[in-house]
Structure 1
Amino acid sequence: MGTTSSGRKGEQLAASYLKRKGYAVIANNYRRTHGEVDIIAKDGETLVFVEVKSRKNRAFGNPMDAVNPVKQKRLQFMARQYMAERELCHVNVRFDIVEILWGDTAKQAVKIHHVKNAF
């Protein structure tokens, strides 16, 4: 499984996971010139911008380690753009990360770790 393929599968898995947790998924892969938000969802009255990071192992650290300050600023910019397009000004906003660690074999379980209010 290539990185693009595993990334898309990870985003699909994360969206399903969030739905099971009661989130309403509004958008997948919201793209504009300056970036992308993997998932936009509602958790009650809170608008949640979700970054999904998946890896096959922790050789290069935890998946969420890849959401560095530069990536965080880009996600915040994208959130402002999404909200401006929809004239959303008085809503609660949160940034979450969903980490996915793929198992080495088909029998090994996938691990999902959801970090609410990650930054």
Structure 2
Amino acid sequence: MNFPNIGQLGENLVAQWLQSKGWIILHRRFSSRWGEIDIIAQHDGESGTAQEHGENFSQAKRPATANSTQHSLLAFVEVKTRSSGSWDAGGKSAITPQKQAKIWRTAGMFLAQYPEKADYSCRFDVAIVYCQRVSKNLTVVTSTQEALTTSSAAGYNFRLQEYILAAFDSSIDNG
């Protein structure tokens, strides 16, 4: 069968969009025994930016100080690519507490592997991508919601419909 990997194409769109917003893609499909994180991105913002939008992965590791110079932010991004026939709240309901815990644990493994990033502020984002097969008879794609960005690949149109900042946090029960 020659079906394109729709999930990977959706991830490509999100990675390109993040890069256009000044993010550096550190990893794609980072895996550990706990699971996989679709995209790990870093943003080196100005003073306060990372603190406003991020959350410290481990409050105990890095107490806030007035002289702190670290303003980098890591985003652990879960991408959900859906077509019109498979709506599970657009992929949002697929981010169960169990899935969140797996992502959280995998993020911990990433930080253990890259200890120089362990003190960065972190957040867990979710990107919702809508895909639609391109039909020869289809001349326009309609949407009730403005897309953040679009692309076409492998006979499909992709639209980043929603990017949810800090969709869940690191206070998940890991039991």
TM-score > 0.5 by shorter chain: yes
Q: Distance in 2 between matches of 1:100 and 1:85?
A: 29
* Bigger proportion of residues as helix: 1
RMSD: 1.9
Deviation at 1:85, TM superposition (A): 1.2
TM-score (norm 2): 0.62
| Structure 1 unmatched ranges of 5 or more | none
Q: How many residues align?
A: 118
Q: Name the counterpart of 1:16.
A: 16
Instruction: Report if aligned partners of 2:13, 2:158 keep a CA contact under 8 Å in 1.
Output: no
Q: Which residue does the alignment assign to 2:29?
A: 29
Alpha-carbon separation, structure 2, partners of 1:73 and 1:47: 17
CA deviations 1:21-57 (Å, max 9, x no partner) are 1111111111122211100001221011000000002
**Correspondence 1:74-85 to 2 at 5 A:** 74-85=102-113
Aligned to 1:48: 75
CA distance in 2, matches of 1:23, 1:59: 29
Asked which structure has the greater CA Rg, the reply is 2
Return 5+ residue gaps in structure 2 as ranges. 45-71, 142-156, 169-175
| Identity level (%) | 27
* Correspondence for 1:118: 167
Residue 89 of structure 1: CA displacement?
2.9
Aligned to 2:67: none
| 2:125 counterpart SS class | strand
TM-score normalized with structure 1 length: 0.88
CA offset digits 1:5-30 (Å, max 9, x no partner): 10111111111111111111111111
